Structure 1
Amino acid sequence: MADFQTSTHQAKWIFKPEELVGKYKAANQRAIQTLEKVCTESCFISHCKLADDVLIRAMSLTGYLRLTVYLFYYFLADKHSRPKPISIEEEQFMRVFYENKLQEVCKNFHFPHKVQATALIYFKRFYLQWSVMQHHPKNIMLTCIYEACKIEENHVLAEELGKGISQDHQMILNNEMIVYQAWILEFDLIVYAPYRSIEGFIDDMGEFCGINDDRLQILQLLHAAKMEVDKIMLTDAPLLFPPGQVWFAIQASSRSSSEFGH
């Protein structure tokens, strides 16, 4: 794998906090504008059909006057019944919920952490451009897992993945190019996660402390460290900091907690 410092991950996918907030706001606003337009058009057509019975006399009016009557009928009848769009905060709750589900699916399939991390980062990048109001997170989550398996050479059939979670595999395939298309992921498919830093650190610590022969202890340390990274991967940290810094932050936090506890 190429060096992180020269990667597109470092160059294009690490943001400042205000940039990240701006992207979430922009995606939310684009979705609201799109859905309002679609809803207005579809609801207007529906109301026009219903209004033919209620406003039959409008048929004798000119086209413009008839349109005015229909618009008045639509806004009068529907302005209080339209669903409110999802807020940025509500979108965040939904994303985190399905990020947790993504981790659960990967664990149930016994996928390696590199697959889980890649899928999670794809999922996060996708929703920098799209809103959950436009693409259901469950569908995108499963497609990201499928694509991560291919990129990380942990091959699994879409049929097998769909069957394992009682979902139609065709949905996964239908969303594949939506996630792949250049303006979302920009085909920057190689990603970096803190798990590699953990493995290197545990190996170095094992040599330094002389516990390389105690394989069980090393595995316990590795498992505990990965559990901590799993938690922080559910935050915006992977979009704000390089993976090495994320791991160092976890170490510093663990040391502080240990010192405070003593």
Structure 2
Amino acid sequence: MFDQQTQLGLGTYSLTDESGTETIAAALDVGYRHLDTARLYENEREVGEAIADSGVDRDDLFVATKVAHFEEPEKSESYVHRAVQESFERLGLDRVDLLYHHWPRSQDDIETVLPILEEYVEDGVVDHLGVSNYTIADMELAWDLVDVHIDALQVEMHPLLQQDELRAFLANTDTQLVAYSPLAQGAVFDVDAISVVAEKHGVSEAVVSLAWLLSKDGVAAIPRTSSVDHLRDNFEALSVDLDDEDIDSIDAIERTHRCEDPDWMRW
């Protein structure tokens, strides 16, 4: 699903209003071709405006959005359909590449929402079905619920939360893992093993962390930044070639840090 151009995307959380549009437009100018948004982010319109003004061919872009987050209202069938249709309208697009179910609070939510999203794939207006913050038990339920393939699972992943068990579970399934908060919201800058590799390659800890993620089979990453300089810096991860020693040293990090961890979540 993701190729070399789209394996590194832009997370757009909090990129709103005119400044948000400008940041997203700058990302497209730098070379990002995978844009990740959500109904909850309240910036689908900004994403759509940046795309429309960019001059980038739509077929060269990979646009992902999400609906039915646990904070959203009752997940009735009519609500979910309306949410999807409103996302299309705000984006100004007649199709999206990837539509996620955005972090359910319960398996009841999954049973309601996922079959509705499947309809959009079957209708040809969504290319790929994705899920967000599903556990292994949630994935097993999801695979029983829908006939179309679930192509992406978006979860927090970075050198301080390596998701070994989840990646092993997904191996050989063709479901790719999309890493949000791939820099652990800045915590990767304070890890000696990462700093050593960064100094060796003459790049930042952010670039090393992203390159480490991209070295893993079936993993994409969507760093979020509002800084154009950081956009450019992060993009260097696509051209950094970590050797086995580099990867092994990061794999061996024992510190564990989870940025997003609501009390009710069953990890």
TM beyond 0.5: no
TM-score by length of 2: 0.24
The structure whose RCO (Cα within 8 Å, separation 6+) is larger is 1
Q: Which has the higher strand share?
A: 2
Larger Cα-atom Rg: 1
- TM-score, normalization: structure 1? 0.25
